[in-house]
Amino acid sequence: HIQYERVGADVTMKCGSMDWDAAVTWTVNGTDIDESHLNGSYLILRNVDLTQSGQYSCYEGSSWHLKYQTYLRVGTPPKEPVLMCRSNNYPKGFYCSWHLSTPTYIPNSFNISVIHGTREMVCEKDVFPKNRCHIRYIQLFSTVKYKVTLTVTNALGKNSTTLTFDEFAIVKPDPPESVVAKPVPNNPRRLEVSWQNPSSWPDPESFPLKFFLRYRPLILDQWQHVELSDGTSHTITDAYAGKEYIIQVAAKDNDIGTWSDWSVAVHATPWTEEPKHLTTEAQITETTRASTSSFMPPPTTKICDKG
């Protein structure tokens, strides 16, 4: 048996079918409970907190026959859940994900309903992550709004939230991928940046993306920005010579929706000229003389005849 109670509640447990005045012993997780918590054979817990969750057992008098056992779980009813719907693979469909802003400490169940006009649609739940489900578009370029309602329920209560939106309003691509930044040979103020469309974007030919590039030297906090209507590359021409740069790219459908999150940051430093080592004729002569004078012939062994 599992008994759910709210944090701060007063809890009374009865020892099975035992009379109120019967002699009993209570334990929690195998440890005896002080008699000051008893009212006759009843166990009284006042203002319970999370630490009092556990297995409670009641035994008959001196015989120690187990008469009652329950698992107490202390928690809270759910607050309004956080719901988000987004299309990162337009025009195939969209997904909705959800979470609770504060934990309840007890099991929760979630139910999601999606209505398009007058039609209820099936939101196919993902195995992982488990708090997400997908809707496949049935009618592209529809002007009918979607209404998504999420209800969360546990043993202590329930709560819900609703989103209403147009299909195009939730389009948000994933960030561009494989961002690369390289120096341009013999150009100390240039960096070549290239990237790829997000792999989750299914049809960049029919639904092209535009891009937003931001970059700054590590020594400064202020970003510089470039918006690009097409292409997946750009040459930065105003970089500071010799300074390391941090670079990111975002993507957006040309006509609808919002910008993606920023891509993973990449670092690059513009081309710098190798320092030249100048050698004068006098230094060459001096080096030659020094190497000659340091040459020592091998020792010779003299053999003397003893006379």
Residue 139 binned pLDDT confidence (cut-offs 50, 70, 90): confident
CB count in 10 Å sphere of residue 296: 6
User: Is residue 212 domain-shared with residue 140, that is, in the same domain?
Assistant: no
Task: Answer yes or no: is pLDDT of 49 > 80.
Answer: yes
**Would 171 be classed as within a structural domain?**
no
User: Is residue 150 domain-shared with residue 184, that is, in the same domain?
Assistant: no
- Using CA atoms, how far apart are residues 172 and 196, in angstroms rounded to an integer? 16
* Among 18, 47, 75, residue at a domain's last position: 75
**Would 101 be classed as within a structural domain?**
yes
Task: Answer yes or no: is pLDDT of 62 > 70.
Answer: yes
Summarised one tens digit per residue, pLDDT across range 88-137 is: 999 999 999 999 999 999 999 999 999 998 999 999 998 887 899 999 88
Tokens 């698992």 belong to: 71
- Using CA atoms, how far apart are residues 11 and 48, in angstroms rounded to an integer? 7
User: Is residue 26 domain-shared with residue 61, that is, in the same domain?
Assistant: yes
**Would 300 be classed as within a structural domain?**
no
**Would 6 be classed as within a structural domain?**
yes
DSSP 155: T
What integer is the mean pLDDT of 185-207?
96
In sequence order, the β-bridge partners of residue 217 are 245
User: Is residue 29 domain-shared with residue 85, that is, in the same domain?
Assistant: no
- Using CA atoms, how far apart are residues 37 and 20, in angstroms rounded to an integer? 14
What integer is the mean pLDDT of 270-295?
56
User: Is residue 202 domain-shared with residue 237, that is, in the same domain?
Assistant: yes
User: Is residue 155 domain-shared with residue 199, that is, in the same domain?
Assistant: no
Q: What is the pLDDT of residue 296?
A: 42
Please state the domain count of the chain: 3
Q: What is the pLDDT of residue 126?
A: 86
Q: Considering only 75-84, 103-112, 215-224, 269-278, which range has the smallest mean pLDDT?
A: 269-278
Task: Answer yes or no: is pLDDT of 288 > 90.
Answer: no
**To the nearest whole number, what is the mean pLDDT of the chain?**
90
Over its C-alpha atoms, the chain yields an Rg (Å, rounded) of: 37
Contact call for residues 15 and 66 (beta carbons, < 8 A): no
* Among 165, 193, 223, residue at a domain's last position: 165
Residue 181 belongs to domain spanning? 177-268
Residue 300 binned pLDDT confidence (cut-offs 50, 70, 90): very low
**Would 70 be classed as within a structural domain?**
yes
**Would 301 be classed as within a structural domain?**
no
The domain spanning residue 202 has which CATH number? 2.60.40.10
Q: Considering only 95-104, 235-244, 295-304, which range has the smallest mean pLDDT?
A: 295-304
**Would 110 be classed as within a structural domain?**
yes
Q: What is the pLDDT of residue 276?
A: 63
Q: What is the pLDDT of residue 227?
A: 96
User: Is residue 189 domain-shared with residue 110, that is, in the same domain?
Assistant: no
Q: What is the pLDDT of residue 279?
A: 55
What's the pTM?
0.77
* Among 75, 100, 121, residue at a domain's last position: 75
Structure tokens at 5: 């109670």
**Would 123 be classed as within a structural domain?**
yes
Summarised one tens digit per residue, pLDDT across range 151-163 is: 999 999 999 999 9
Nearest to 189 by CA among 251, 140, 235: 235
User: Is residue 197 domain-shared with residue 256, that is, in the same domain?
Assistant: yes
Task: Answer yes or no: is pLDDT of 294 > 50.
Answer: no
